[in-house]
Amino acid sequence: MKIYLIGYMGSGKSTLGKGLADALGISWLDLDTEIETRYKISIPDFFSKYGETAFRDVEHKVLNDIALLPDLVVSTGGGVPCFHNNMELMNQTGLTIYLNATPALILTRIGPYAWKRPLFQKMDGTDTLEKITEHLKAREMYYQQAQIKVDAAIPDIKELKNQILDYFGKTTA
Ligand code: S3P
């Protein structure tokens, strides 16, 4: 059973990913960390050295490799569903779960750490909420292709676990 967590930066994909993997008794993998380990470079450094297009190509390549692995919860980067045929690939090789977060929640979560995120490094801090709102709106059409949608403010791991087991035709332990 392979599960892909998708959603905007700061929606809680890593935290929920770890929790879900524990609950299901399978491994957890973070796509950004996998890229950093493989290419021996941090994501912000990759962006500044090679640019976003090269990053999206690498992201796609690593996702393709991960898609071949069995039982796994994968926390993806926020842009993954929006490039190449990644969304289709994830829907074909596993169960996609969208962590739906409001711009306000996103701002609260990433605000203090915005400098760590390449897509926010250029922001001056004054109209960040509007920028997030606009960006999220543009990405929504990809995120909405997920098979399960969850409220990022209150993800219920127990309920989600049941939905997942149901999807894969397994019974709750
Ligand atoms: C990105 C999100 C980041 C990371 C990169 C680009 C995006 O991951 O992949 O900075 O395009 O939304 P997180 O969603 O884990 O922060």
- Please report the pLDDT score of residue 131 as a whole number: 87
Average pLDDT score over the chain: 92
Ligand 1 atom closest to residue 82's alpha carbon, by position in its atom list? 11
Please give the share of the chain, as a percent, with pLDDT higher than 90. Answer: 79
Best residue for ligand 1 mutational test, from 119, 120, 123 (most atoms within 8 Å of Cβ): 119
Q: Give the tens place of pLDDT for each residue, 97-110.
A: 999 999 999 998 88
Separation of CA 60 and ligand 1 centre (Å): 13
Q: What is the mean pLDDT of residues 104-119?
A: 81
Contacts of 30 (CB under 8 A, 6+ apart): 14, 17, 74, 75
Ligand 1 atom closest to residue 32's alpha carbon, by position in its atom list? 9
d(CA 152, CA 100): 5
Ligand 1 pocket, residue 117 CB under 6 Å: yes
Question: Residues 157, 91, 101, 113: is their CA dihedral positive or negative?
Answer: positive
pLDDT tier for residue 126 given thresholds of 50, 70 and 90: low
- Is 121 a residue whose pLDDT tops 90? no
* pTM to 2 decimal places: 0.94
pLDDT tier for residue 115 given thresholds of 50, 70 and 90: low
Ligand 1 pocket, residue 24 CB under 6 Å: no
d(CA 166, CA 172): 8
Separation of CA 170 and ligand 1 centre (Å): 32
Ligand 1 pocket, residue 81 CB under 6 Å: no
